[in-house]
């Protein structure tokens, strides 16, 4: 037997205070009777009030309070040791759906390669929670889940054309991912990461500030660069996904995009994370998977825990019965009430 919340036993100090209160109330009632007149005569006049019943009610109340306090201390028994599953990690994948991700300087295109990387990541998870953020000028969120099939379907058919606002707002995406992770904090702490897949060209926000805020909250960012530093024109696609020319700039000329590695490296460093790059012969997500494996290996040494059975309910039942009994007991003796009814008749 053990007490999981032994500090609550301090409430037992209320019990002697309650007993003292009942004693003072009885003494005060006795003193008031003595002031009325001759005590033996006064007692005969109030003989219908049972002292025994009053004492019994006070006793029941004191015992009920004692049982309730003992229940608050959470007595436990048993003590069985068992192996528990790993606690896992929480991660949010933020994927860039801006038009620049249509560039084909990495096969088959930046956006398609990013989706392949994410699918590879999701397929490796087990017991971990994943949230999703699709972003261009604004961010669309999918909350933390362990339903990996649903997570894969979230953006299977999503593309830049389906995004409600154009542009590239990495800062808003990081802020949305950070909010999802903070909202998911409950129970034992879990490592929390953001996996950002983008070409790094931000046109709408302040991503470095968002990265620093994530780092302040203990969230690391793994920035995966998609594209080439040399840059590439951004194609214009028809409804079937076929190239129909090139995207044009408002000021004239064709829109081209290049991987901004310096910006992505700065984002990762600001949060204590890492910058990775997806290349033709290398998955950028592989290093994220290696880090996940290292986190799990570190947890394997502390998997034996002891669980106990709660026993507080065994104390609350008699406490409830005592309170019911206290409420049902009156102050007047039954014999006195019967005598009173006879005299009236």
Which comes out higher in pLDDT, residue 29 or 129? 129
pLDDT, residue 271, reads 95
pLDDT confidence band for 49 (50 / 70 / 90)? low
Give a yes or no: residue 128 inside a domain: yes
Of 61-65, 69-73, 257-261, 334-338, where does mean pLDDT reach its minimum?
334-338
Q: In sequence order, which residues have a C-beta less than 8 Å from that of residue 113 and are 6 or more positions away? A: 106, 107, 226, 278
Instruction: Based on the fold, state whether residues 119 and 233 are members of the same structural domain.
Output: yes
Per residue in 292-322, pLDDT (tens digit) is 888 766 554 455 556 677 888 888 888 888 8
Instruction: Based on the fold, state whether residues 228 and 273 are members of the same structural domain.
Output: yes
Share of the chain above pLDDT 70, in %: 81
DSSP 67-136: HHHHHHT-EEEEEEEEE------EEEEEEE-SGGGG--SSSS-HHHHHHHHHHHHHHT-SS-EEEEEEES
Domain range for residue 272? 90-299
pLDDT confidence band for 267 (50 / 70 / 90)? very high
- Element spanning 145, H or E: strand 139-145
Does position 341 have pLDDT exceeding 80, yes or no? no
Instruction: Based on the fold, state whether residues 134 and 197 are members of the same structural domain.
Output: yes
Q: Rank 69-78, 95-104, 325-334 by mean pLDDT and report only the highest.
A: 95-104
Which comes out higher in pLDDT, residue 173 or 3? 173
The CATH number given to whatever domain includes residue 279 is: 3.40.50.410
The pTM score is: 0.61
Give a yes or no: residue 64 inside a domain: yes
Instruction: Based on the fold, state whether residues 263 and 245 are members of the same structural domain.
Output: yes
pLDDT, residue 342, reads 46
Instruction: Based on the fold, state whether residues 73 and 100 are members of the same structural domain.
Output: no
Give the whole-angstrom CA distance, residue 290 versus residue 122.
Answer: 14
Give a yes or no: residue 85 inside a domain: no
Q: Which two tokens stand for residue 282?
A: 């290398």
Give the whole-angstrom CA distance, residue 324 versus residue 223.
Answer: 64
pLDDT confidence band for 73 (50 / 70 / 90)? confident
Does position 74 have pLDDT exceeding 60, yes or no? yes
Instruction: Based on the fold, state whether residues 127 and 257 are members of the same structural domain.
Output: yes
Give a yes or no: residue 217 inside a domain: yes
Give the whole-angstrom CA distance, residue 122 versus residue 70.
Answer: 48
Q: Other C-beta atoms within 10 Å of 284: how many?
A: 22
Instruction: Based on the fold, state whether residues 293 and 330 are members of the same structural domain.
Output: no
Instruction: Based on the fold, state whether residues 186 and 100 are members of the same structural domain.
Output: yes
Per residue in 140-181, pLDDT (tens digit) is 999 999 999 888 888 888 888 888 888 889 999 999 999 999
pLDDT confidence band for 133 (50 / 70 / 90)? very high
* Nearest Cα to Cα of residue 178 among 136, 145, 139: 139
Q: Which two tokens stand for residue 134?
A: 């699709």
Instruction: Based on the fold, state whether residues 130 and 237 are members of the same structural domain.
Output: yes
pLDDT, residue 205, reads 84
Does position 345 have pLDDT exceeding 80, yes or no? no
Q: How far is CA 216 from CA 49, 65, 219, 225, in A?
A: 69, 46, 7, 23
Q: In sequence order, which residues have a C-beta less than 8 Å from that of residue 304 and are 6 or more positions away? A: 81, 82, 83, 84
Give the mean model confidence (pLDDT) for residues 197-226. 91
Instruction: Based on the fold, state whether residues 110 and 244 are members of the same structural domain.
Output: yes
Q: Which two tokens stand for residue 178?
A: 């950070």
The pLDDT mean for the chain works out to: 81
Per residue in 220-250, pLDDT (tens digit) is 999 999 988 888 888 887 776 777 778 777 7
Give a yes or no: residue 221 inside a domain: yes
Give the whole-angstrom CA distance, residue 49 versus residue 220.
Answer: 73
Q: Give the count of domains, the chain.
A: 2
Give the whole-angstrom CA distance, residue 81 versus residue 302.
Answer: 12
In three-state secondary structure terms, 203 is: coil
Give the mean model confidence (pLDDT) for residues 248-262. 82
Does position 275 have pLDDT exceeding 50, yes or no? yes
* Nearest Cα to Cα of residue 130 among 189, 89, 95, 171: 89
Instruction: Based on the fold, state whether residues 139 and 279 are members of the same structural domain.
Output: yes
246 bridge partner residues = 235
Does position 207 have pLDDT exceeding 90, yes or no? yes
Give a yes or no: residue 228 inside a domain: yes
pLDDT confidence band for 336 (50 / 70 / 90)? very low
Instruction: Based on the fold, state whether residues 204 and 324 are members of the same structural domain.
Output: no
CA dihedral 130, 134, 138, 141 (to 10 degrees): -30
């Amino acid at each position: 037997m053990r007490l999981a919340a032994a500090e609550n036993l301090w409430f037992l100090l209320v019990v002697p205070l309650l007993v003292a209160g009942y004693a003072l109330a009885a003494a005060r009632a006795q003193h008031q009777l003595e002031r009325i007149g001759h005590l033996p005569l006064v007692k005969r006049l109030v003989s219908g009030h049972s002292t025994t019943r009053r004492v019994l009610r006070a006793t029941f109340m004191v015992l009920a309070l004692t049982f309730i306090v003992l229940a608050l201390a959470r007595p436990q028994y048993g003590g069985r040791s068992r192996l528990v599953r790993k606690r896992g990690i929480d991660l949010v994948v933020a994927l860039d759906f801006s038009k620049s991700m249509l560039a084909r300087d990495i096969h088959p295109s930046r956006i398609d390669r990013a989706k392949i990387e994410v699918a590879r990541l999701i397929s490796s998870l087990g017991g971990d929670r994943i949230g999703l953020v699709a972003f261009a000028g604004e961010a669309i969120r999918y909350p933390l889940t362990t339903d990996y099939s649903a997570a894969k379907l979230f953006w299977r058919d999503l593309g830049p054309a389906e995004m409600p606002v154009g542009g590239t707002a990495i800062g808003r995406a990081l802020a949305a991912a950070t909010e999802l992770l903070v909202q998911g904090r409950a129970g034992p702490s879990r490592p929390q990461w953001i996996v950002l897949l983008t070409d790094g060209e931000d046109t709408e926000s302040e991503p470095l500030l968002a990265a620093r805020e994530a780092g302040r909250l203990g969230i690391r960012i793994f920035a995966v660069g998609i594209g080439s530093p040399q840059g590439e024109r951004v194609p214009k696609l028809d409804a079937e996904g076929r190239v129909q020319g090139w995207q044009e700039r408002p000021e004239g000329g064709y829109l081209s995009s290049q991987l901004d590695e310096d910006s992505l490296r700065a984002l990762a460093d600001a949060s204590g994370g890492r910058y990775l790059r997806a290349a033709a012969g290398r998955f950028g997500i592989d290093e994220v998977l290696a880090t996940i494996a290292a986190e799990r290996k570190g947890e394997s040494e502390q998997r034996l825990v002891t669980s106990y059975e709660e026993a507080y309910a065994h104390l609350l039942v008699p406490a409830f019965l005592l309170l019911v009994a206290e409420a049902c007991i009156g102050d007047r003796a039954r014999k006195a009430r019967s005598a009173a009814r006879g005299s009236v008749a």
